[in-house]
Amino acid sequence: MNLHFDLLEDKIEFFEATDIKTLEKKIASQIEVNIAIMLHVHSVNYQMHVNENGQTYFTAAVHFKLKKQ
């Protein structure tokens, strides 16, 4: 049996929440998980939407990349 492992070099994850604090907590916990597999934050894009009832809705796309030595 022959095993071959490749490093993950890029990963984009999407997050959503009804408030910014919750969104940031979700992102922070996932950053820790990705650091364990040697991925670091390359960029973060936030968006906010207000629905017809006046409720806010936050989303984020976080791009993780392998940190080059």
| Residue 16 CB neighbours (<10 A) | 13
Spans of all domains in the chain: 10-66
Model pLDDT for residues 10-58, shown as the tens digit of each residue: 999 999 999 999 999 999 999 999 999 899 999 999 999 998 999 999 9
Asked if residue 3 has pLDDT above 90, the reply is no
**Dihedral sign (CA 32, 41, 24, 26):** negative
